[in-house]
Structure 1
Amino acid sequence: MRRLTVSIVSHAILAAVIGLMPVLLIVDAALNKGWPVSHTIAWVFGCYVMAGLIGMGMSWKTKLPICGSHSVPVAVLLGTALGPFSLEEATGSYLLAGLCMLALGLSGQFDKVVRYIPIEIVMAMFAGTMIRYALGIITIIQEHVWLGVAALAGYLLFFRFFPSVPAPLGAFLLGGIVAFYLGEMDAPAWGTWQLPAPVMPEFSWQGFVSLSIPIVLLVLGTEGIQGFSGLRLGGFRPPVNQMVAVSGIGTMLAALFGGHSANTAGIMTTVCAGPETGPAQERYKAAFLAGVIMLAFGLLASVLIPWIVSLPRYVIHLFNGFALIPVLIGALKISFQQSQYVLSPFVTFVFSMSGMSFFGMHASFWALILGVSLLWLLERKRGERAERS
């Protein structure tokens, strides 16, 4: 790590910024549940400390630019899916999800899961749970015009003039400045540093079905596949089974503090793996540095989170909406534009968007069941008949 170039450091910071922005999703989900700040601190601590350790450990051991993060799609899902579950039940569900990922990684069965539950269905389910954040931008602009317009202008300016920087960062910066000027955000009120207490898990079949299964599919179907693809595009050969297994271990460790996941990252890994970062044999350093930043943020959760929690809810919702625009666009492209299927992704998307629950199980589970059933019973059969004719 002696030779660090400006390019390596800048890409490490960019990857870390991408990993840090979704902390607002965690805060929003915890506020929706009415959990105390101590629970939110533990949640953030578990996700970011373990994600940082994954990025540092995997990049150092493999000399590949593999970053660690928590799963943004899962954080979005939990904004609604946590409804009937206590912190202890959610923790048990996260542990089971991590155990399933570890089993898939050790057994090498990940490819079979992807074949039976296509990525188009998983992403349609994810897009359906996420759409409310994008719609929320319009509502907030109506009710808080200057703040909303400033955030929108920041997003568009960065999108147009700084294409290498995430456009949501522009919304955060310009929107934050205007919010401070208007008195809608107070000066930071930092907390005191302390280590959070671990959470004792409780297990239920409803939690396994409504949380564990979607978490496994979202972590591996989004972060996992994005990370594998990013490494291949960078000229590397990804250790797929090892990355899946490490995601399982990281998620189990994050769950001890109420964290929903800690896994190998998708977009962050892609940022560090590209040729712009530097020579191929040096790119792992960017992932390692990004991991250091993620780890530091997690260790400082008790200091930073009390201020973030104190922000007005509409500010959190607005920034979350802008942060998820590129993610939502990507999910919709995979679900429809790049898919050979039409009906099954559409039904999955609409049912997931509805938020309806039956028999104590969240809409995301039923959306997956309906989508996969339609795909195998109707669209796959029709496609096979068309090929034979």
Structure 2
Amino acid sequence: MIQPVAAGIVAGITGFASSFALVIAGLHAVGASDAQASSGLLTLCFAVAILCIVLARVYRMPISFAWSTPGAALLIAASATTNDFSAAVGAFAVCGLLIVLCGLWPALGRAITRIPKSIASAMLAGILFPICLAPVLAVTQIPALAIPVVAVWLVLFRLAPRWAVPAAMLVAAIGIGVSAGSGWLSSSSMSLVPAFVFVPPHFDAFVIVSLGLPLFIVTMAGQNVPGFVVMSSFGYTVPPRPVLVASGAVTAVGALFGGHAVNLAAITAAIMAGPDSHPDRSRRWIATFASGFVYIVFGLGAGFAVALISASPPILITAVAGLALLGALVGAVTSALEDAAQRIPAIATFLVTASGIVIVGIGSAFWGLLVGGLIMLVAASPWPRPRARA
């Protein structure tokens, strides 16, 4: 019993500490106040906890969940699209309803997974690229705070990779506390005790296209599909319908309190579904069950987390997020360029998405998909090709 519980605790700590700063920064980027960001993080923690506890117990499998980390990165990229948090909440809700629809209507899920992997990966790489530049910028702009963070990350990346990002976040928190002085907590404009804050959704067509649809795509293609693959690699057949319907419904409801998206876990799932969790596969569900309670504990600290992030130079928090997302960026770039025949459409998708352009109120993630798809169609068309000269 101790071994799977310990694995669940490690997975919970790793999942929260490696990306909570990115979630808060993303919610702030699309217009959330401190109280709304705290509510969003609290909601996500409780949503993950409920899904982990209930589904692991019902199916006796280590079916684990997390918030959408690529989705949080997308929020930062969408900052030029909207600063109306009610409109962002409407987009979150649409994303959740589409995930439910994937569970109820498998054809939609198959259609999403048929988006060329190179294009979907290139869009994700374009979203992550500006964030992964942040450590470089932070070192040049605030070296006293950023250099220790990067140095600790680098050392632990070599010695204990699982703890590299949490340790970097801890060093950043210490630096923030020292630089802001002893009164930063008392000067916070919000209560450190988190509370659920209802945000009435506003359904703006442009924001739904710019944010809701890309959030749905990166959550499905970048999180849910890999989550199913990870579980399959450890010999578990996860029923897709209840997983997608449950996570989509929780996302849609959680959106009304500021949460952006919940999905199957991939990286932390490997901790809980693998043999290190327990030699007996039938006992590994206990790890996921235990991780749910870890998220509840962390959720109760959401107010403190938001106050900490609000006291920090924004570039420092983005830098920590960039360190956390380097592996995801490498994976996305590798996947995007894997097929030589699709490299030009993939690079075009990457460049348009990374540019951050906004056209007619629609953000760059949508235009990246559109441009990449059009180039791929033209390249594959049966039109006559010019003959090479002798």
Using the size of structure 1 for normalisation, the TM-score is: 0.89
The one-letter code of the counterpart of 1:17 is I
Q: Give how far 1:116 is off.
A: 3.6
Match of 2:140 in 1: 142
1:24-46 per-position Cα deviation (integer Å, ceiling 9, x unaligned) = 11222244355421111121122
1:275-303 per-position Cα deviation (integer Å, ceiling 9, x unaligned) = 22112111111111112111232244234
Name the CA distance, whole Å, in 2 between partners of 1:16 and 1:381.
Answer: 51
Name the CA distance, whole Å, in 1 between partners of 2:304 and 2:173.
Answer: 20
Match of 1:315 in 2: 316
The answer to whether the Cα contact below 8 Å between 2:197 and 2:258 also exists between their aligned partners in 1 is no
The one-letter code of the counterpart of 1:23 is F
1:65-115 per-position Cα deviation (integer Å, ceiling 9, x unaligned) = 111211011110111314343111111111111111101111112552245
Q: Where does structure 2 lack aligned partners over 5 or more consecutive residues? A: 384-390
Match of 2:221 in 1: 221
- Three-state SS of the structure 2 residue aligned to 1:263 is strand
Alignment counterpart, residue 117 of structure 2, candidates 104, 116, 119 = 119
Alignment of 1:1-389 (within 5 A): 4-6=1-3, 8-20=4-16, 21-33=18-30, 35-85=32-82, 86-163=84-161, 165-177=162-174, 183=179, 189=185, 191-278=191-278, 279-337=280-338, 341-379=342-380
Q: Give how far 1:367 is off.
A: 0.5
The answer to whether the Cα contact below 8 Å between 1:50 and 1:295 also exists between their aligned partners in 2 is no
The answer to whether the Cα contact below 8 Å between 1:226 and 1:270 also exists between their aligned partners in 2 is no
1:185-204 per-position Cα deviation (integer Å, ceiling 9, x unaligned) = 75872844252221111112
Name the CA distance, whole Å, in 1 between partners of 2:27 and 2:127.
Answer: 17
1:208-257 per-position Cα deviation (integer Å, ceiling 9, x unaligned) = 21112111111110110121111011111121232222221121021010
RMSD of aligned C-alpha atoms?
Answer: 2.4
Instruction: Sort the Cα spacing of 1:249 and 1:196 in 2 relative to 1 into closer, same or farther, 3 A.
Output: same
Instruction: Sort the Cα spacing of 1:95 and 1:302 in 2 relative to 1 into closer, same or farther, 3 A.
Output: same
The one-letter code of the counterpart of 2:327 is P
The one-letter code of the counterpart of 2:123 is M
Q: Where does structure 1 lack aligned partners over 5 or more consecutive residues? A: 383-389
Instruction: Sort the Cα spacing of 1:11 and 1:110 in 2 relative to 1 into closer, same or farther, 3 A.
Output: farther
Name the CA distance, whole Å, in 2 between partners of 1:185 and 1:123.
Answer: 42
Percent identical residues: 24
Instruction: Sort the Cα spacing of 1:151 and 1:306 in 2 relative to 1 into closer, same or farther, 3 A.
Output: closer
Instruction: Sort the Cα spacing of 1:225 and 1:116 in 2 relative to 1 into closer, same or farther, 3 A.
Output: closer
Match of 2:387 in 1: none
Instruction: Sort the Cα spacing of 1:178 and 1:304 in 2 relative to 1 into closer, same or farther, 3 A.
Output: closer
